[in-house]
Amino acid sequence: MVAGLRAGGKPEEVPEIPTTDNTKAISAYAGGIIAGTAWLFARSEWEGKLDYLFIDEAGQVSLANAVAMCRSAANLVLMGDQMQLEQPIQGTHPGEAALSVLQYSLKDLSHSIPDAPVFYPVVPSNAGIFLGETRRMHSSVCSFISESIYEGRLTAHPDCDRQRIELTPNDTLVTKEHGILFSPVVHEGNTQRSEEEVLRVAQLVEELLGRNYTDKNGLIRPLGLDDILIMCPYNAQVSALKRSLPDGARIGSVDRFQGQEAPVCIYSLCSSYGEYGSRGLGFILDQNRINVAISRAQCLAIVVADPRIAETTANSLKEMPLLSLFCKASRL
């Protein structure tokens, strides 16, 4: 049995693994596996102590933090997805300093269109390993993500197709047992918040709650608030949704929920047709953001948006694939 040690966190979270803090970890470590944050492995006493350092969610780890950590090990293994959201940064960073460690490691494999670096969606076999099977998404969700993002190479484990939501004769909004559902709401003058979409999300949640859900193990239970992730690109919409939905609802930005999952995910785009604010169309329709929002869903992903966004005229080559992805989602 491999020895294990955690640096940081509460002991009751994983009671079977001893827990210590960063300052005492080096003296408590007796070999085997140790888990910690960048604050642990960047400490000077860890230099050269490990054989391998695995960095999880490497697309969220800054290049500077990785450089500080990697002194601790002889070998570095990066785990992550360059087609999900990169690290949130503030300020301006010159040259390649703004890249995550995963982006930096793949930069020589990338190609580009003007002003927009594009990383290969599937890592080449000579540069890493692509894990091509999801154990989260129903195949009807996975196929959209796979075809749109991963060159058709991502598949769902067969057990995932047991996942479904029971429909009833009274359904008006939730009309699919699984897959991608587009819920159109026409509105005017909204950029970062839409009360019309808030109302639609509340109606969707009301219709979903208590509905029987079958998980990938074949177990049936009623859907609760904890089974629904509600995401949007702007914090103003997050606040509006929190005021309108019951306490306990899981509401947040897409960035907040990266790495999480739920039977149902609802993504509210907020912006009216032609009202894309200072961040522009490229922010709300960002391919990586839509990838994260939809792929959190185990069974059903619902996109709430003004359908007229599909009529937007692309102003650049960069906007064309983004609009194409929106059109694909809105026609499912």
- Spans of all domains in the chain: 37-118, 133-330
Quote the mean pLDDT of the chain. Answer: 90
Which one-letter amino acid corresponds to residue 323? L
Do the beta carbons of residue 43 and residue 63 sit within 8 Å?
no
**In terms of DSSP bridges, do strands 19-20 and 33-35 run parallel, antiparallel, or are they unpaired?**
unpaired
pLDDT at position 273, please?
Answer: 96
Q: Distance between CA atoms of 165 and 204, rounded to whole angstroms?
A: 13
Report the C-alpha gap between 128 and 224 in whole angstroms: 39
Most confident stretch, 30-39, 122-131, 196-205: 196-205
Task: Report whether 287 contacts 295 (CB < 8 A).
Answer: no
Q: Tell which residue, 213, 193, 180, has the closest CA to residue 297.
A: 180
- Give the count of alpha carbons within 13 A of 16, CB side only: 3
- Tell me the mean pLDDT in the region 225-249: 95
Reported as a single tens digit per residue, the pLDDT across 161-200 is 999 999 988 889 999 999 999 999 999 999 999 999 999 9
Query: Which is it for strands 155-156 and 164-165: parallel, antiparallel or unpaired?
Result: unpaired
Q: How confident is the model at residue 294 (pLDDT cuts 50, 70, 90)?
A: very high
d(CA 300, CA 138): 8
Burial of 13 from C-beta contacts in 10 A (0-12 / 13-18 / 19+): exposed
* pLDDT higher than threshold 90 for residue 124: no
Continuous segment of H or E residues that includes residue 20:
strand 19-20
Q: What is the mean pLDDT of residues 195-217?
A: 97
Judged against a pLDDT cut of 60, whether residue 320 lies above it is answered with yes
Does residue 204 register a pLDDT over 90? yes
Q: Give me the pLDDT at residue 109, please.
A: 64
Give, in words, the CATH class of 133-330: alpha beta
Torsions phi, psi for 291 (to 5 deg): -60, -50
37-118 and 133-330 agree in CATH topology: yes
pLDDT at position 232: 95
pLDDT cut 90: percent of the chain above it: 70
Q: How far is the C-alpha of 278 from the C-alpha of 285, rounded, in Å?
A: 14
Give the DSSP per-residue string, 235-278.
Answer: HHHHHHHHHHS-TT-EEEEHHHHTT--EEEEEEE--PPTT--TT
Contact assessment for residue 254 and residue 297, using Cβ atoms and an 8 Å cutoff: no
Q: What is the pLDDT of residues 103-122, one digit of tens each?
A: 888 876 654 444 444 556 78
The Cα 180–Cα 156 span in angstroms is: 15
- pLDDT value of position 125: 81
Per-residue pLDDT at 90: 61
pLDDT (0 to 100) of residue 117 = 46
10 Å CB burial of residue 68 (0-12, 13-18, 19+) is middle
Three-class secondary structure of residue 291 per DSSP: helix
- C-alpha span between 68 and 62 (Å, rounded): 10
pLDDT, position 71:
95
Give domain 37-118's CATH number out of 2.30.30.90, 3.40.50.300, 3.40.50.10540, 3.10.110.10. Answer: 3.40.50.300
**6 phi and psi angles, rounded to 5 deg:** -110, 135
Global confidence as pTM? 0.86
The per-residue pLDDT for 92 is: 60
Predicted confidence at residue 259, as pLDDT, reads 84
Residue 205 to residue 292: CA distance in whole angstroms: 20
CA angle, corner 236, sides to 233 and 241, nearest 5? Answer: 90
Res 89: pLDDT:
60
Q: How far apart are the first and last CA of the chain?
A: 49
What's the CA gap between 265 and 255, in Å, rounded?
14
Type of residue found at 40: L
45-54, 89-98, 147-156, 169-178: least confident range: 89-98
